[in-house]
């Protein structure tokens, strides 16, 4: 028989709908309660997903003894306190990415995880997609040999999202924590979390504040822009490996290059498609895996595998496969990017005691 797992959702904004829909696709999951600082939004969300309880104070949700786990779907700068409170209340937590917009918040959340003994799972759904699973298998097989260089590049010519994403008090930062965190997590996942030791970075605020709206952009309001629109960094690791990282919401170009890994025996491109480059049979070979075409017009195919994995971890009493070591290292890199850009030179990274 399938064990019933009872879950609450904190924050009823846009991303919470993807979480709720995914949970409803997992057998044996019951959504018990939702909380949002806007009571009308919590009530509407509860009605849409047939959730029996809704609150404007998430502490009321955490007081429900039957709830075993929660999804924290608040904006970035409001991840810390609900996550810490939920963990210390004995609930397992799936927190929307990034874990936090600041290193201080991330460390506090990981410390609460260790203190509570509960699960802290950061919602990096790309880990469970066919392309990422294939890339992981290729790298783990040794087909690349020793990986000595990687570049992770993500963004778009005019994809400034607008709204709360541009507010420092809510988002904390721009593409570094919005989309760049995905690339950093992919790097950590694929290479088994190498430890960063230094960062040299540049951040730009130039385009987001000045670009007029044109057909094809996402319609942001330039005067509301408070965060960066572009960042690049050169990251060194304790193994000698280096990472060239670029993330951007706006740039006067269609493409800044592919994301790829270079090793002593082969190379692996991640974008725009996975290709394995090798010397085999006395010739140069390119291998392009045939992967499923996930074109479903909603986020179900993104979030449902993640929901299954989190719920299975809850039922097993842990652990989550999203280990917080790699999550912490990504947070350290993001923090280092801001420190280096402000200082104008390379900065060292020190792993905090937890």
Q: Which residues of the chain have pLDDT under 70?
A: 1-2, 293-301
β-strand partners of 279: 284
What pLDDT, on the 0 to 100 scale, is given for residue 295? 55
pLDDT at 291: 87
How many CB atoms sit inside 10 A of residue 282's CB? 6
- What long-range pairs does 295-298 form, CB within 8 A, spacing at least 24? 298/21
Q: Is the dihedral of CA 228, 111, 123, 91 positive or negative?
A: negative
How many CA atoms does the CB half-sphere of 287 hold within 13 Å? 15
Which pLDDT score is estimated for 234? 98
Q: Contact at 8 Å (CB) between 331 and 338?
A: no
Residue listed under structure tokens 């399938």: 2
What's the distance, CA 332 to chain centroid? Answer: 14
Per-residue model confidence (pLDDT) at position 300: 58
Q: How many CA atoms lie within 13 A of 118 on its CB side?
A: 21
Structural domains of the chain, ranges and CATH numbers in brackets: 5-125+309-316 (3.40.50.720), 127-298+330-348 (3.30.360.10)
User: pTM above 0.85?
Assistant: yes
Residue 109 CA, chain-centre distance (Å), reads 15
Query: How does DSSP assign 155-178, residue by residue?
Result: E-TB----GGGG-HHHHSSSHHHH
């Amino acid at each position: 028989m399938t064990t019933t797992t009872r879950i609450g959702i904190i924050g009823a904004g846009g991303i919470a709908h993807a979480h709720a829909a995914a949970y409803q696709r997992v057998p044996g999951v019951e959504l018990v309660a939702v909380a949002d600082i806007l009571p009308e939004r919590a009530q509407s969300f509860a009605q849409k997903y047939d959730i029996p309880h809704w609150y404007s104070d998430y502490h009321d949700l955490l007081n429900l003894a039957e709830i075993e786990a929660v999804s924290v779907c608040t904006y970035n700068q409001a991840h810390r306190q609900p996550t810490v409170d939920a963990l210390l209340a004995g609930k397992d937590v799936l927190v929307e990415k990034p874990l936090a917009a600041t290193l201080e918040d991330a460390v506090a959340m990981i410390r609460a995880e260790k203190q509570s003994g509960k699960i802290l799972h950061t919602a990096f759904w790309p880990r469970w997609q066919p392309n990422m699973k294939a890339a992981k298998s290729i790298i783990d097989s040794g087909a690349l040999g020793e990986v000595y260089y990687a570049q992770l590049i993500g963004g778009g010519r005019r994809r400034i999202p607008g709204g709360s994403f541009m507010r420092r008090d809510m988002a904390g930062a721009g593409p570094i924590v919005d989309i760049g965190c995905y690339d950093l997590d992919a790097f950590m996942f694929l290479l088994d979390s190498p430890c960063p030791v230094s960062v040299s970075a540049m951040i730009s605020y130039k385009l987001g504040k000045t670009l007029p709206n044109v057909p094809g952009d996402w319609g942001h309001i330039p005067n509301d822009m408070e965060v960066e629109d572009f960042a690049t960094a050169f990251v060194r690791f304790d193994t000698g490996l280096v990472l060239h990282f670029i993330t951007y919401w706006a740039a006067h170009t269609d493409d800044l290059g592919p994301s790829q890994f270079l090793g002593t025996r082969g190379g692996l491109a991640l974008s725009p498609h996975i290709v394995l480059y090798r010397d085999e049979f006395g010739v140069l070979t390119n291998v392009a895996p045939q992967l499923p075409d996930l074109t479903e017009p909603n986020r179900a195919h993104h979030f449902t595998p993640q929901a299954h994995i989190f719920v299975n971890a809850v039922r097993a009493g842990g652990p989550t496969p999203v280990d917080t070591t790699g999550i912490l290292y990504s947070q350290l890199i993001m923090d280092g990017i801001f420190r280096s850009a402000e200082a104008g030179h390379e900065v060292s990274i020190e792993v905090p005691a937890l």
